């Protein structure tokens, strides 16, 4: 298939490019080729490229900055996917788009923490608590309203060995400091960009092999949660990062002492949900894919060639 792939400099876009380029004709669109903050130019660009499928991992992901730079976040996260969906509908092609746990307010089950936190299913009502979440939710709605052939994958707490993310920040801090204070009252599934890309690759293979593409889309179109399984807090994630990095010789000094703190001790411009757990049963059943748990995905990620390994 001819695939138009956005966000190729990002965590997920880079992982997708790695996996898909060997199997399909991938048109890798970076910001220079397709600036998503200028949605008016998108439909024309898609008409020129004429892909069979658009995959859109690009997004305005600076959650705190989106509180003030809301117009750009809205253009990239809502208007750009809307334009892609419009083109997809007109050209009768498919659109795979990614969204976020931040479409929820995160209050699910927080009144009964002793029974363990339930996970959000795809049908649960959205109620974003920050501008980033609102713009991503608007993007989902625009795609759904366009009635184009689409898959929307909601993910959470994405990391890789590439770009800016919590894993790389914690690895750096663990090598610099003796004591780290980390939020221990927000919960979710750390998710490796590689896992999201691998599941997407399998689903794209199923689409490519389908003799009747329109029937395939009719059967599978919709919204799916796609995260690594299990859940933890940011503190739990950091504990695992430090342990696993230590085992692989990625720490150049003794492991730091880790201290769990409430989110109220670490104020940020954007509010974050307490419960970010997403239930992944729907995607696993629909496409017969299995998704690694977050600890195994972290190990797999750290086993890749790491920038710190040679220093
Ligand atoms: N990161 C997370 O923790 C997280 C959590 C939940 C959901 N998600 C969702 O998962 C998907 C992938 O996220 P990610 O972590 O891979 O994001 P990322 O690493 O921040 O990458 C974002 C990509 O979008 C591109 N982009 C931003 N503004 C653009 C513009 N105006 N025009 C063209 N490209 C633009 C960036 O290009 P430049 O390099 O040029 O800026 C970059 O390639 C997104 O839909 C995101 O909302 C992420």
Q: How far is the CA of 17 from the centre of ligand 1 (A)?
A: 14
User: What Cα–Cα distance (Å) separates residue 215 from each residue in 212, 218, 220, 296?
Assistant: 5, 5, 9, 35
Would you say the C-alpha torsion 43, 45, 51, 53 has a positive or negative sign?
negative
Structure tokens, 109: 């089950």
Cα–Cα distance for residue pair 95/219, rounded to 1 Å: 15
- Top mutation candidate among 32, 35, 58, 74 for ligand 1, by most atoms within 8 Å of CB: 58
- Top mutation candidate among 28, 35, 45, 61 for ligand 1, by most atoms within 8 Å of CB: 61
Number of domains composing the chain: 1
Q: How far is the CA of 311 from the centre of ligand 1 (A)?
A: 28
pLDDT per residue rounded down to tens, the chain (311 residues): 999 999 999 999 999 999 999 999 999 999 999 999 999 999 999 999 999 999 999 999 999 999 999 999 999 999 999 999 999 999 999 999 999 999 999 999 998 766 789 999 999 999 999 999 999 999 999 999 999 999 999 999 999 999 899 999 999 999 999 999 999 999 999 999 999 999 999 999 999 999 999 999 999 999 999 999 999 999 999 999 999 999 999 999 999 999 999 999 999 999 999 999 999 999 999 999 999 999 999 999 999 865 554 43
152 C-beta closer than 6 A to ligand 1: no
Q: How far is the CA of 213 from the centre of ligand 1 (A)?
A: 28
User: What Cα–Cα distance (Å) separates residue 223 from each residue in 185, 285, 293?
Assistant: 28, 13, 21
Residue 135 forms part of a structural domain = yes
9 C-beta closer than 6 A to ligand 1: yes
Residue 310 forms part of a structural domain = no
Closest Cα to atom 17 of ligand 1: 10
Q: How far is the CA of 114 from the centre of ligand 1 (A)?
A: 35
User: What Cα–Cα distance (Å) separates residue 120 from each residue in 20, 26, 181, 282?
Assistant: 29, 33, 28, 11
Instruction: Identify how many contiguous H helices and E strands the chain contains and give both numbers.
Output: 11, 12
Q: Is 231 a catalytic residue?
A: no
CATH of the domain at 291: 3.40.50.720
> Is the CB of residue 254 less than 8 Å from the CB of residue 218?
no
> How high is the pLDDT of residue 115?
74
Would you say the C-alpha torsion 294, 138, 151, 84 has a positive or negative sign?
negative
- Top mutation candidate among 4, 5, 7 for ligand 1, by most atoms within 8 Å of CB: 7
Residue-range definition of the domain harbouring residue 208: 2-303
User: The tokens 């919590």 sit on which residue?
Assistant: 166
> How high is the pLDDT of residue 306?
57
Query: Which atom number of ligand 1 is nearest to the Cα of residue 98?
Result: 45
88-116 per-position pLDDT tens digit: 999 999 999 999 999 999 999 998 766 78
113-124 per-position pLDDT tens digit: 667 899 999 999
Structure tokens, 214: 């329109």
Residue 308 forms part of a structural domain = no
Residue 311 forms part of a structural domain = no
Choice among 98, 102, 132, 159 that is catalytic: 132
> How high is the pLDDT of residue 310?
40
Residue 237 forms part of a structural domain = yes
Residue 218 forms part of a structural domain = yes
């Amino acid at each position: 298939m001819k695939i138009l792939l956005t966000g190729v400099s990002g965590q997920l876009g880079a992982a997708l490019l790695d996996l898909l380029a060997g199997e399909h004709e991938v048109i890798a669109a970076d910001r220079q080729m397709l600036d998503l903050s200028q949605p008016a130019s998108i439909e024309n660009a898609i008409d020129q490229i004429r892909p069979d499928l658009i995959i859109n991992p690009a997004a305005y992901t600076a959650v705190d900055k989106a509180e003030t730079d809301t117009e750009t976040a809205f253009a990239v996260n809502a208007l750009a996917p809307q334009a892609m969906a419009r083109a997809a509908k007109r050209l009768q092609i498919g659109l795979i788009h990614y969204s976020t746990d931040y479409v929820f307010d995160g209050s699910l089950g927080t009144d009964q923490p002793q029974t363990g936190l339930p996970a959000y299913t795809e049908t649960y009502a959205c109620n974003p608590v920050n501008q980033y979440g609102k713009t991503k939710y608007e993007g989902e709605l625009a795609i759904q309203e366009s009635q184009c052939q689409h898959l929307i994958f909601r993910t959470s707490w994405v990391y890789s060995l590439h770009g800016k993310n919590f894993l790389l920040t914690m690895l750096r801090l663990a090598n610099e400091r003796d004591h780290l204070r980390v939020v221990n009252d927000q919960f979710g599934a750390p998710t490796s960009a590689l896992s999201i890309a691998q599941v997407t690759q399998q689903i794209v293979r199923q689409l490519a092999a389908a003799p009747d593409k329109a029937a395939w889309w009719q059967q599978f179109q919709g919204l799916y949660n796609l995260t690594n399984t299990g859940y933890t807090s940011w503190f739990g994630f950091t504990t695992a990062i430090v342990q696993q990095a230590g085992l692989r010789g990625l720490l150049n000094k003794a492991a730091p002492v880790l201290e769990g703190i409430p989110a109220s001790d670490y104020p940020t411009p954007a509010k974050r949900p307490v419960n970010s757990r997403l239930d992944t049963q729907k995607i696993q059943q629909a496409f017969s894919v299995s998704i690694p748990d977050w600890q195994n995905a972290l190990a797999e990620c750290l086993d890749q060639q790491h920038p710190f390994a040679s220093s």
